[in-house]
């Protein structure tokens, strides 16, 4: 069955978890896919790719990056347990990509790996039909904003695409230093205010 013909999230998730496209192409990824959430969720987050702790726990944003993300979302009145139970969390690529050859941080998925996963992400968006999409980190943000723009030109802004509000956040990993400067934290606060405005308006 073609991906665009899949009609339920349960079936889509099963298909993603059985996918071997990256492995067959020679990429050293670590299945299974890590996604969570329900159809009809108002908010969808899109990260870069799951980390090793996400694979072990079988849930997105499980470690320190998740703690920071939900600290940010708490400022918008969003509680973690509620969000995980009722909203949707996914990533540009679905499996853990492994460490960088240098050993410093996780490997960034290649363009080919991103393309292998793109139909899955497109179908997730179609089935969930979120009102708000929060791309987290440069890779996810580049799905909606030009790569040439700096994060300082993007974070704290929003755009509407096909009736959905796109409100980006920086990568919440502790390895990122972007969110450690006060001027950038102010941009994050502006982004959170935008998210809060949409969450509380309905």
Total domain count, the chain? 1
5 — phi, psi (to 5°)? -95, -10
Residue 29 domain boundaries: 3-201
User: Mean pLDDT, the chain, as a whole number?
Assistant: 94
Instruction: Specify the pLDDT at position 202.
Output: 67
Question: Whose CA is closest to 114, among 58, 167, 49, 62?
Answer: 49
Q: What is the pLDDT of residues 73-118, one digit of tens each?
A: 999 999 999 999 999 999 999 999 999 888 778 899 999 999 999 9
Confidence tier at 14 by pLDDT (50, 70, 90): very high
Q: What is the pLDDT of residues 19-77, one digit of tens each?
A: 999 999 999 999 999 999 999 999 999 999 999 999 999 999 988 889 999 999 999 99
CA distance 58 to 38: 15
Judge whether residue 174 has pLDDT over 80: no
Q: Which CATH number characterizes residue 132's domain?
A: 3.40.470.10
CA distance 19 to 67: 29
Bridge partners (DSSP) of residue 45 are: 89, 134
**Would you list the DSSP string of 157-172?**
--EEETTEEE--B---
Q: What is the pTM for the complete model shown?
A: 0.95
Instruction: Specify the pLDDT at position 124.
Output: 98
Instruction: Specify the pLDDT at position 65.
Output: 86
3-state secondary structure of 36: strand
Instruction: Specify the pLDDT at position 89.
Output: 98
Q: What is the pLDDT of residues 128-145, one digit of tens each?
A: 999 999 999 999 999 999
- Residues 88, 44: contact at Cβ < 8 Å? yes
C-alpha Rg value of the chain to the nearest Å: 16
């Amino acid at each position: 069955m073609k991906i665009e013909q899949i009609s339920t999230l349960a079936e889509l998730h099963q298909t993603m978890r059985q996918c071997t496209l990256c492995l067959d192409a020679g990429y050293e990824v670590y299945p299974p896919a890590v996604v969570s959430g329900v159809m009809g969720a108002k908010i969808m987050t899109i990260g870069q790719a799951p980390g090793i702790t996400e694979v072990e726990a079988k849930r997105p944003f499980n470690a320190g990056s998740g703690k920071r993300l939900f600290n940010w979302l708490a400022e918008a009145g969003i509680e973690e347990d509620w969000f995980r139970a009722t909203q949707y969390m996914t990533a540009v690529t679905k499996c853990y990509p492994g460490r960088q050859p240098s050993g410093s941080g996780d490997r960034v998925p290649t363009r080919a790996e991103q393309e292998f996963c793109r139909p899955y992400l497109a179908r997730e968006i179609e089935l969930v039909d979120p009102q708000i999409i929060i791309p987290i980190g440069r890779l996810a943000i580049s799905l909606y904003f030009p790569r040439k723009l700096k994060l300082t030109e993007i974070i704290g802004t929003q755009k509407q695409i096909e009736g959905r509000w796109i409100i980006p956040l920086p990568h919440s990993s502790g390895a990122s230093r972007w969110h450690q400067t006060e001027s950038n934290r102010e941009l994050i606060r502006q982004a959170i205010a935008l998210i809060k405005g949409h969450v509380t308006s309905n």
